[in-house]
Structure 1
């Protein structure tokens, strides 16, 4: 008959082996997650750059004008030419207009208006995670990065101020209600 201590040691050994297997699997999953996040960040960056290019006054028209002759010149060539600005352009509300005299918050898409509203209600600059929470979003990297992307675009176009700490606040004189 086996001893109680021997049985406990056997079960402990089995549990330890299971923990080691799970740790290895967790390490593998975390490494895969890091790779997937890096891959995803490339798309976020590409989308931001595309939105910037399309938001530049006259920038989109220049691209379309240069794309037409290229397509005409290569019409006899079977290789497809990517079109930088297809019909329909960007997703509605994805490009933030440049803020200027007389431009009101109401020109922004609802998502951007909500960010302005959260910052208007705050007494201090907010980090993107705090903005995401105030918007009722989960505090997960994908949601926070979406808020960061929107806030950065708004800062580049004069709606928000991005502090060196990475926090955002409204530009002086902007109110969240529609001005």
Structure 2
């Protein structure tokens, strides 16, 4: 009897340990299998998933809008560049119209003398020179200067008393737009006389 009583007390002492182990096992199982652990955890995960999907959709939408805006800016820039190239000389061309009008007016006059024609041409040339000055177009007229291959084009060499590589004759003037040569001067260049 004593023995069975001792056995019962030992089993009772072991029982809380077993219950504790079972609780731990069940709670671990709940964590591993949330569907067995009640409804809070799946709802919480589902809520988080929905929020993440909403945020992802917002970010995707913002990305699409930014991409479209970038594409629009690129297209606008291309159009602006094309228009800048196409209409770059708009102001210059407008100024040249006055020169064309002067030439047309000179041709209309029926009984013009050589002197009146010459005066008209001089006035028209002054108009054109003023336009050139306004748009920073300057003449290259290197008579007597040292030959510069960046601004002059040698058409021939001639024996001369001038130092070698000196421009002895300007066959056609050159022009510079700001600092860029738009047409080199066509020149004859001196060379030493042969003995």
Give TM-score, length-normalised by structure 2.
Answer: 0.27
Give TM-score, length-normalised by structure 1.
Answer: 0.29
Greater Cα radius of gyration, structure 1 or 2: 2
Q: Which structure's relative contact order is higher, taking Cα pairs within 8 Å and 6+ residues apart? A: 1
